[in-house]
């Protein structure tokens, strides 16, 4: 782990948005299922997206990577061929999508992972795949879901999937359903979390001229469809931009981020409403979206069930706000790469705030001036980036956790901060 030091510094300027991790994952799956050469334009090159690229390569596709496009060349039908193994790294999206792809391949596929991934929720997806004909066998120790073997083939069916722990279970099934022989009816059960990510999946399917009939929590997908088109342009990522905008909201600004279209659903665009509620100034225009600090921070209350990745950032904003803020919903954040509710509590405490757990989430009492702090053992990418933007607005230098953690989702994070006027991180 490389501990990084951050000095306080005002930031302002304009940067382009990094590509979306969520859409890169989905485009790679579409390329693999398209049965023709498929170009993923402006992909995000990160640890998680490389894990998905390697997963589809294990299942028969070839991925040629260059700076501005990844070209997916699907291989021949591999049904009935030799078993294979997929290392999903620490990527939950890769694990969920690769599970569905493995079941549809007809091969016996062994999936493994590292970090917290072996303990993350998978049972709802595996039950649904089982109802479609797959056989799964967990090889993990007690309390661990990985390694696991999955063997198909599967076919369309009427299936239900619990959606209260992850929307990725439903997304994985929706991506694979069109290429099955029979139609699939998918019903969501429980409280649906992270729903905008499900909307992103539907947006990608629509771009590929895949027909899905939706009625509330019920989805009907005809079988024997073909993914149409030969390319997908990955949009700029609101999730990564949220950290840069937060730097503007806390440390002066304005910070403008270009390249985030409004025609692609993105859960973390909800951060703009959070900024407005907290007193920051948000301006949207043709050149991008800018955020700057307002005259004062206002207490806010926000439900993060639809945008759980914003939890640590919301905690930072609350810590910088005199008064009581409330973070509600998103109970599944404890099941992410780390327990992000506990991580948010640590971050708020380091910033001089006070946290209290409630039945619905966290109540946070913030303060007008943030102290310098030490959080040297954090290695969750979203907690590290949230801590870094808070450190820009602190009253003295700070030291925080693994500088390389950002490679998971936003490899260019430190360069973007420097472009906005921050000092380079001191290692």
Active site residues: 309
Report the alpha-carbon distance of residue 304 to residue 320 in Å, rounded.
Answer: 19
Q: What is the secondary structure of 109-151 as a DSSP string?
A: EEEE--TTGGGS--HHHHHHHHHTT-EEEE-SPTT---SEEEE
CB 99 within 8 Å of CB 172:
yes
Report the alpha-carbon distance of residue 278 to residue 263 in Å, rounded.
Answer: 26
Longest dimension (CA), the chain: 65
Report the alpha-carbon distance of residue 339 to residue 420 in Å, rounded.
Answer: 30
Using CB atoms within 10 Å of the CB of residue 247, give its burial: 0 to 12 exposed, 13 to 18 middle, 19+ buried. Answer: buried
For the chain, the first-to-last Cα distance in angstroms comes to 10
Other Cβ atoms closer than 10 A to 37: 14
Report the alpha-carbon distance of residue 309 to residue 238 in Å, rounded.
Answer: 11
Q: Say which DSSP state 159 is in.
A: E
Which two three-digit tokens encode residue 158? Answer: 């009427």
Element (H, E) at 197: helix 195-207
Bridge pairing between strands 218-221 and 212-215: antiparallel
CB 191 within 8 Å of CB 163:
yes
Angle (deg, nearest 10), helices 92-105 and 47-58: 10
From 310, 315, 340, 303, select the one nearest 390 (Cα to Cα): 315
Q: SS3 of 291, please?
A: strand
- Give me the phi and psi of 399, to 5 degrees please: -130, 130
Report the alpha-carbon distance of residue 343 to residue 14 in Å, rounded.
Answer: 30
The answer to whether the Cα torsion of 108, 114, 118, 121 is positive or negative is: negative
């Amino acid at each position: 782990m490389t501990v990084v030091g951050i000095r306080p510094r005002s930031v302002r300027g304009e940067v382009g948005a990094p590509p979306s991790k969520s859409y890169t994952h989905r485009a790679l799956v579409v390329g693999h299922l398209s049965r023709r050469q498929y170009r993923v334009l402006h992909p995000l090159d990160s640890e998680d997206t490389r894990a998905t690229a390697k997963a589809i390569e294990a299942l028969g596709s070839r991925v040629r990577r260059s700076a501005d496009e990844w070209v997916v060349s699907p291989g021949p039908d591999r049904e009935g061929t030799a078993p294979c193994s997929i290392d999903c790294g620490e990527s939950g999206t890769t694990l969920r999508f690769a599970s569905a792809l493995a079941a549809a391949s007809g091969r016996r596929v062994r999936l493994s992972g590292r970090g917290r991934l072996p303990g993350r929720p998978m049972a709802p997806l595996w039950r649904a795949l089982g109802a479609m004909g797959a056989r799964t066998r967990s090889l993990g120790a007690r309390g661990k879901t990985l390694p696991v073997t999955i063997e198909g083939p599967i076919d369309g069916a009427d299936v239900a999937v619990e959606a209260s722990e992850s929307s990725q279970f439903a997304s994985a099934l929706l991506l694979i359903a069109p290429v099955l022989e029979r139609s699939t009816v998918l019903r969501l059960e429980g409280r649906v979390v992270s729903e905008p990510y499900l909307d992103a999946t539907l947006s990608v399917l629509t771009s590929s001229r895949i027909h899905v009939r939706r009625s509330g929590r019920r989805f009907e997908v005809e079988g024997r469809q073909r993914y149409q088109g030969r390319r997908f342009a990955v949009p700029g990522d609101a999730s990564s931009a949220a950290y840069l905008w937060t730097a503007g909201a806390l440390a002066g600004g304005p910070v403008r981020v270009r390249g985030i279209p409004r025609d692609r659903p993105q859960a973390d665009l909800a951060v703009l409403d959070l900024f407005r509620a907290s007193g920051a100034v948000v301006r949207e225009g043709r050149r991008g979206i800018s955020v700057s600090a307002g005259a004062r921070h206002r207490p806010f209350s926000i439900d993060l069930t639809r945008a759980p990745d914003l939890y640590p950032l919301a905690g930072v904003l609350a810590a910088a706000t005199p008064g009581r803020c409330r973070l509600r919903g998103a109970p599944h954040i404890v099941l992410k790469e780390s327990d992000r509710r506990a991580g948010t509590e640590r971050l708020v405490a380091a910033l001089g705030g006070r946290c209290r757990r409630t039945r619905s989430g966290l109540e946070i009492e913030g303060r007008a001036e943030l102290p310098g702090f030490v959080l040297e053992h954090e290695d969750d990418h979203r907690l590290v980036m949230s801590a870094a933007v808070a450190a820009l607005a602190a009253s003295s230098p700070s030291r925080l956790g693994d500088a390389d953690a950002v490679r998971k989702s936003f490899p260019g994070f430190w360069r973007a901060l420097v472009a906005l006027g921050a000092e380079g991180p001191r290692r």
